[in-house]
Amino acid sequence: MSKEITITADNFDSEVINSSVPVLLDFWAAWCGPCRMIAPFVEQIADEYDGKLKVGKINVDEETELAVKHNVAAIPTLAVYKNGEQQLIQSGALPKNQIESLVKQYL
């Protein structure tokens, strides 16, 4: 079972801003080929880092305001939050090892 959480405008503050662990956000859409390509990597990271890292998925078609608020201009976009603040944002499909290296520095 995946450890990923669906993030919405309603739970963003409680799940991301107030999280006691770093958060990896995956901004995606169902029609996005590169998003589907990295989805298994994001899911594996969620499982492997359970308890140390929270992984949230934001569907940009359903949560347009969140995407705009976070300056997401292309998808997939990954963002890392720690202590309630955005630490980095990275657009484009990345291999699993590069996604891991993005988050490891914040664990």
Report the candidate in 96, 106, 98, 100 with the shortest Cα–Cα distance to residue 37. Answer: 96
CB of 6 closer than 8 Å to CB of 57: yes
Indicate if 35 belongs to the active site: yes
Choice among 24, 25, 35, 103 that is catalytic: 35
Indicate if 32 belongs to the active site: yes
Q: What count of residues does the chain have?
A: 107
Report the candidate in 72, 37, 44, 40 with the shortest Cα–Cα distance to residue 58. Answer: 72
Choice among 5, 7, 32, 103 that is catalytic: 32
Kind of pairing, strands 54-59 and 5-6? parallel
Residues with active-site annotation: 32, 35
